[in-house]
Amino acid sequence: MSKTTPSKLQKIMAAGHFGVTSECGPPRGTDGHVVEEKARLIGDYVDAINVTDNQTAVVRMCSLASCIRIKQMGLEPVLQMVTRDRNRIGLQSDILGAASFGIHNLLCLTGDHQSFGDHPNAANVFDLDSTQLVRTATMMRDEGKLLSGFEMKTRPEMFIGAAENPFADPFEIRVMRLAKKVAAGAQFIQTQCIYNMPKFKLWMQGVVDKGLHEKVFIMAGITPMKGLGMAKYMKNKVPGMDVPDDLIARLAGTPKEKQAEEGIKIAIEQIQELKEVQGVRGFHIMAIEWEEKVPEIVKATGLYPRPKVD
Amino acid sequence: MIIAKAKPMEEIIDYVKDMKRILVAGCDGCVTVCEAGGMKEAQVLASALRMYFRGQGKDTVVDDTSLTRQCDRPYIEQLQDKINNYDAVLSLACGAGVQFLAEMYRGKRILPAVNTCFIGVTEEKGEWTERCQACGECLLATTGGICPIARCSKRMSNGPCGGSAGGKCEISKDTACGWHLIYERLKELDELERFEQPNEPKNWAASRDGGPRKVIKEVSHA
């Protein structure tokens, strides 16, 4: 958690409050107002808004342009960057551009393989991986250097994060892999959507045992289920997702018209439970194409109003 | 070895349908081992083409031969005497062989009859899998002898990614997660400490990214 930056998200968590972030996926077209509308819905209820970077390898309006729009609304964006589509030249260049607009949060990801997206025949880049992007951004900020060693006159003041999936295999190296990202410079972690609570707690225990919770803010990933269909899809189709059978059964036992409501209820219960887990410092609420539900979840979990920091 | 795969017959026919005299040239190297382009495959392709032309009522001549290697000049020079008898050569060698023939016989059409796929191994009879991407800076000493460049779909230096499940890659249940294999191997070797520290960005200049490559062996004159 070393370096202090102008990031409001960092200040809030450093002050001991739970941080709250949500995300907004840009449109598959040129209408920037879509981003602004989503940001407006959730702006008062979160500390920062992640903007996804061509998620699931589907071409969308770029994350950087969308972040600038959010920034210009007076809200705080988290620039997501994947290493799939740009090499170290493009990535560093975009970090500099983001910093020039006062964007102070960066989430470094490797990205889904392009075979999942709308351009499966595309070449991929993967010059760096997520850990190396974290290291690169940290070096740019703390040493004022590019990967080439070139010394910059000004530095990008980024609060640097990464994702981690506690549910991927092999499970026993997931804490080790987090340690690696922390060693590379990660200051916050947004986790994969949590549905398997016992497994998440086991992972968190490993994180605490290694003392990593004192070095990095862990933000627990929450995605409310819109219904049984979504739950089954997440379980069977989305890489690295762990949806337990009892959750499927709970939604299956709920009348179809009540399932969305039940999904929100589950998300609220999850946050309440996770608040008590040592090392959890915030929540990343990914309400996929359901941004309007974020305020309800934040209010129901006592996370509203959001704290004010200087 | 270099693994190749026969091109679809329709594509090959499309290349040669208007030719009068065709030589099908196999290669006794890698493509023989992977059963894509040796003498046997040259004979099979030539005979299939003859049948095709006969069916079209054409008297196109299709001969076959195979060279020891198509990536060495002394062997491709062996075609010197007869190449002028043909309009085109269908080469069953890898892309290197096709190009070397084309460089030597500039006035001739040299056409590929296989798709060159990867550097790999024989898994079992009739099955070959990729092992190496010729990145130019081998890092197998640090990864338990398993290559993350060739075996991870995202060629990660610090894997596995969050899509690894049950030892399989996120792109397909038929693809092993390269980093899962590396982890298991390092555990067996008692070298797991290699996982603790992040690996630095790779120098891709030694790979395809650095432009066409050349190796020169220093010759000692002592």
The ipTM assigned to this model is: 0.92
The minimum CA-CA distance between A182 and chain B, rounded to whole Å, is 10
CB contact under 8 A, B165 and A169: yes
Task: Let me know if residue A306 belongs to a domain.
Answer: no
Residues B19 and B60 grouped into a single domain: yes
Q: What is the DSSP letter of A283?
A: E
**Chain A residues close to B192, C-beta within 8 Å:** 176
Task: Let me know if residue B151 belongs to a domain.
Answer: yes
**Chain B residues close to A239, C-beta within 8 Å:** 162-163, 165, 170
Residues B7 and B102 grouped into a single domain: yes
Task: Let me know if residue B181 belongs to a domain.
Answer: yes
For A:136-155, CB contacts with B below 8 A are 136, 147
A48-51 and A77-82 beta bridge pairing: parallel
Determine the angle formed by the axes of helices A259-275 and A245-252, rounding to 10 degrees.
140
Give the contacts of A115 (CB within 8 A, at least 6 positions apart). A57, B153, B171
Task: Let me know if residue B175 belongs to a domain.
Answer: yes
What was the pLDDT predicted at B195? Answer: 78
Taking CA–CA distances from A88, the nearest residue in chain B reads B201
Domain span including residue A218: 8-300
Task: Let me know if residue B215 belongs to a domain.
Answer: no
The minimum CA-CA distance between A125 and chain B, rounded to whole Å, is 8
Task: Let me know if residue B206 belongs to a domain.
Answer: no
Q: Is A186 left (phi over 0), alpha (psi -120 to 50) or beta?
A: beta
Digit-coded pLDDT (tens) for A97-136: 999 999 999 999 999 999 999 999 999 999 999 999 999 9
Dist. CA A177–CA A86, nearest whole Å:
23
Cis, bond preceding A170 (omega within 30 deg of 0): yes
Task: Let me know if residue B217 belongs to a domain.
Answer: no
Residues B140 and B113 grouped into a single domain: no
Taking CA–CA distances from B207, the nearest residue in chain A reads A127
The segments of chain A whose pLDDT lies below 70 read 1
Task: Let me know if residue A310 belongs to a domain.
Answer: no
Alpha carbon separation from A234 to A27, A34, A88, B199 (Å, rounded): 22, 25, 32, 32
CB contact under 8 A, A240 and B153: no
In 10 A of CB B131, how many CB atoms? Answer: 16
Residues B101 and B144 grouped into a single domain: no
Give the contacts of A208 (CB within 8 A, at least 6 positions apart). A278, A279
Please give the single-letter amino acid code of residue A179. A
Digit-coded pLDDT (tens) for B126-158: 999 999 999 999 999 999 999 999 999 999 999
CB contact under 8 A, B204 and A164: no
Residues B18 and B98 grouped into a single domain: yes
Dist. CA A152–CA A137, nearest whole Å:
13
Task: Let me know if residue A188 belongs to a domain.
Answer: yes
Task: Let me know if residue A1 belongs to a domain.
Answer: no
Dist. CA A165–CA A149, nearest whole Å:
32
Residues B170 and B103 grouped into a single domain: no
Choose, out of A177, A189, A193, A241, the residue to mutate when testing the contact with B (most B CBs < 10 Å): A177
The total number of structural domains that make up chain A: 1
Which residue numbers of B have CB closer than 8 Å to A's CBs?
A: 153-167, 170-171, 177, 180, 183-184, 192, 195-201, 204
* CATH number of the CATH domain containing A52: 3.20.20.220
Task: Let me know if residue B209 belongs to a domain.
Answer: no
Q: Which of B91, B118, B145 is the last residue of a domain?
A: B118
Domain span including residue B57: 2-118
Residues B108 and B8 grouped into a single domain: yes
Alpha carbon separation from B117 to B26, B31, B147, B193 (Å, rounded): 17, 11, 17, 35
Digit-coded pLDDT (tens) for A239-274: 789 999 999 999 999 999 999 999 999 999 999 999
Residue with tokens 């060495």: B72
- Using CB atoms, pick whichever of B180, B192, B198 lies closest to residue A169: B180
CB contact under 8 A, B198 and A180: yes
The total number of structural domains that make up chain B: 2
Q: Decide if pLDDT at B222 tops 70.
A: no
What was the pLDDT predicted at A42? Answer: 97
Residue B132 CA, chain-centre distance (Å), reads: 11
Task: Let me know if residue A3 belongs to a domain.
Answer: no
Residues B107 and B138 grouped into a single domain: no
CB contact under 8 A, B201 and A128: yes
Q: Decide if pLDDT at B76 tops 80.
A: yes
Residues B96 and B145 grouped into a single domain: no
Closest CA to A106 of A45, A158, A40: A158
* CATH number of the CATH domain containing B111: 3.40.50
What pTM does this model have?
Answer: 0.95
Q: Read off the tokens for B142.
A: 């640090």
Alpha carbon separation from A83 to A114, A118, A127, B124 (Å, rounded): 11, 17, 7, 35
In 10 A of CB A201, how many CB atoms? Answer: 18
Task: Let me know if residue B126 belongs to a domain.
Answer: no
What was the pLDDT predicted at A1? Answer: 56
CB contact under 8 A, A132 and B170: no
